[in-house]
Structure 1
């Protein structure tokens, strides 16, 4: 192909491309941005047309068509800048826009007067031209406004107001066009249609953005556009061919040639053009569409498929299919509120766009609010209606990226349970009233089925979930273990049993509500560490069980020991008394230890109890050496004896309270027996009485032995002896049992005590007993700031403070104990 022919073909191809794009926008719905972009495409077409006619040297000459071409070059920068402001919804830059339009009018005038291109003509089939004095100004002006447009779009991408996928090819195309335009200012390059070749690339990039990324939400009317353009090309070609043949065959007078040519051309063109039009239609339909399914049949099949179905996945799949088959929608997105929460989340879609990121819609979203009183919503209403100004620009852009055209609510008894987002029809035509009626019928018919499926799904989850921790329950854990072993899902896996240490005493100390919170906290730590890597369950009470796939026993140990440390750290992050909560864990591995389900659980359980008997707060891997026996803890016994020595040291340190701890212990046991305590509770009373003041070891002696009344600050220091006592006990497992009683021996029945201010039966019964006997011994004891009370006076004080400081029932019982054992108590009063 020679160069002169190429110089003509390139502008012709560019012109055809831009005519095609103009047709696409012509058949699409109009809005402000699309209208402006259509004007932009018109001037790109003028540019291509001017280049083609200039190189063909069509009358009135190359110079005229060069100036037509320059009209496009002048208009493109300011139109693209204007488009960038509208597209990004920028509020700034309109001053520069007005200036740009004003300067473009000046440039149009200079172009007409010949100040941009002086001369242009075809010489030896080549374009020859000379630039005018105003051409540098045009170049500078064009580069400036193109740069402003590109900068504005790039900036909006950077702040994530718009998505790069939608505009990246548009930007590349404009940069190419800018470079091609600048090459025109070099006449040795501009004699060739380099700018038009680059513009052709730009047109292809625009078409790709429309097709792939729904640029401007444009309806890509492939069928109608290609059909129309193909008909024009074929008919034009037919005219040329037929006229050429007639001219060769008939060479008589011009009149007869014209008449016969017109007649023959009209008949042949009508027949052949119609034939080719049908072929084109058939080819396009075969390429882009599947056969339409009868709407009634599709709706009947849909109804049959969903009426007996309770799986959300299946229902939404049938829902998408019936919409696609009956309405011929290109893409469908289903949003549902599955858990009666605040958000509608995407559960299914027909086609996933590469640039689409899943988003959720809040119940307070303007779209959701709209559906309280309306049944349909179009993208035009979202873009243009002031009601949707509260919608985030990111959400608007996302809807446009999805290609959203119509939004349909799924409502049940006026309650919105879902939203269907539907994109354009496959053939690009508008949705008609019949289409809307079908959509509403489908949505209304689906609502009750989806609601039933939601309830069924909730019931299934509840049946296998522990209500407190939201982990799997005991029964489902067994089912999972059976499934894993029976179906041989993993070559190896570990079973772990976890038990919370001292949980009973935690409940006694803080109450069941606090115990529940502690279990939730431990469950959350397990979820954080294990997540989807294993199966978590609450086995029962304070026990948890785990299945960890594809791990050896040692690998499992590393994970579980980290969990143990995290739990210890979480409950020890303050100096409060709850710091004694830890876990003990046992690990058994398949197939290292056994391949039997029951034995696997039994071995993990044995390893866990071995950990508890060996001091708790540890992980143990099962092996055959583990024996079911008690383990002597000599070091712990030594610590236990040391604490009793500390109690004696306190009494010795404070000679005014010498023997106080022994008395409180003795009275506590006496009261406990009268109340009906069992042996374990009596042991608690005995030990708590002896040790309740051991924390005074940390109180300065100046305060402990002060002869006068304590100041407010000194009293606050003295009050800390309770927590100091517990800090000592929590490190000695055998003394954990006394904590509830000791921590509460300064609490009051009316809730005005310390350190926690709890009241009534929320105070452990051992603590209420200890309060009475501790106060009673203090009354009959000599102090540097008071004389001891007589037995009768002390008894009267107990009666006077019933229901305020002391438990009324326990006080009456203790007074009866005093009356029955008066000789013992009188002896203690005399000794004091």
Structure 2
């Protein structure tokens, strides 16, 4: 550097400030001027003025070098110093534009570190390969170059100046050479005075380039030291993460590790993909630095793209100047310029891949970046594995709890619709799905009908039926195989018409068959994870287990339904024996039961008690089997003794029913069907709420049917008269509340057909 400075300082000699005329005047003898002397004097005066300007310029150049030396000693950041150096270069060399281009980390290209001039911002977007253009030629050869007329030089990249609309006539370009070789170049364009660049300009530029080289090398040493310290701090953070109990949430751990990785390598963005060994592919665990409309792909196959290759080989990759074809295959985006991809390995097993994408300074990633990231990744694996094991354990516990809960409900819940709804709600919760549905096979029409549909559009979707083989659900029903569809828009089996008609955007689906004893019962489907991620194979396995439980519930319901039907048929057959004994009460027990159920529904009687009300209604007169037929068939009114005998049938009925253990709780219902609300009834003279509600209900149904039936001692009453008599007895023989329910049932036509 000093040699160049000395050369510049010695380039011109001291010049007198006196003109040739003044010098002549001071001589002892006045000169005799010839006719051609005056023009020569003028030429000498012009030369003297030129020398003056050169002397002044030489002084300013010395000042520039002094200013640069002062900047080098300042405490400013290196980039700020270099930016000011380029300001001085443009100013002292009086040029239209100037730039500093540095060789990137790949060693194969130049990037604009600093640009000055009217089109500075526009030119920064360009990159040059070594050997390309004037700057590339200088950087590759390490030799300075003066180009008086760029249009006559084949090395000139005219496309850049044309693109940014910056006319270029001449260029001066010098290499920045440090101890380790060429670091970059400084280039100035177009002198403001229109003159061409000369050797003196070149000498000044080279002196400034030497100063810049010193600054760059010092900066890189400092930067390397700072990054090594940052790397140590990052490793400490990993150690803290591993040892802290409350950092076992996998998502939190991944986000923290990736943020540290991106900052450590000064990257724009990054991702961590985790290896899903069940399906042999990589799944996106976390991503930072990507715009919402350009998020990375959710899955990558092993061996595909840079990320997949790193997972397959277990070898890290440093990629610069990513070509469009490679970028298109990469899961991140088509705007990948450079990338570091390192495997996350533990015990010779790749558990994932850590990627950082595009350095913030537009440079390529270096070997130092790769070494730093590898060290960090090797320490991060333990934290990730601990969190994964914890999450897997928690998930297993949640799945087991869900299945145990479903099994318990199957054993205790008698209402099938409520049971199935609860099962599907649990499926939604444990798999964090937006919607779920259960479709059952209609064997008559051979299609699937919605039995349960949960979610925002649950009620709307119930109107549809799915043909076997049609859509995702129809395919599963036809093939009797589970199906996981991560992106329905790419699956031809998806029936988008239904989703469109109910305005429910569908992204991913799991659908599994419900099979009992090798027979298809239906299918279960869950749609869209709430957090926007895709379902996985573990979700599919859990849903299959839930489907098995649902199948058990449906089969139990069928068996219960068949058993209940047989059970009630036997009861009705037994009840008919009473009617056979008394021809005048033929089918009386059945009609009383139907009317009692209609009244009970009107009053909101518990659904699970309806079967017992049916038994009480059918058996309320079973005690008449113990009453002599002559009393039952007597055409005249009964005398007191006969009436007392008849009254015993309520006690006889309760004794008969009491022998059946599951029916013990309905014994009072049957015993007290002849009590009156005002306490005037039998057998115990109970009144008001002392009388069981089912007894009060059966009492009205029994009386109404008796009044509208023929008896040995009278003909039936018409419907209106019977209703009027029931109404008259409200508060006396009958409970007023039950009377109101009876009247509502009658008015709504829910009473059984009469004879």
Higher strand proportion (structure 1 or 2): 2
Whether these two folds match at TM > 0.5 is: no
Q: TM-score, normalised by structure 2?
A: 0.30
Higher helix proportion (structure 1 or 2): 1
Q: TM-score, normalised by structure 1?
A: 0.28
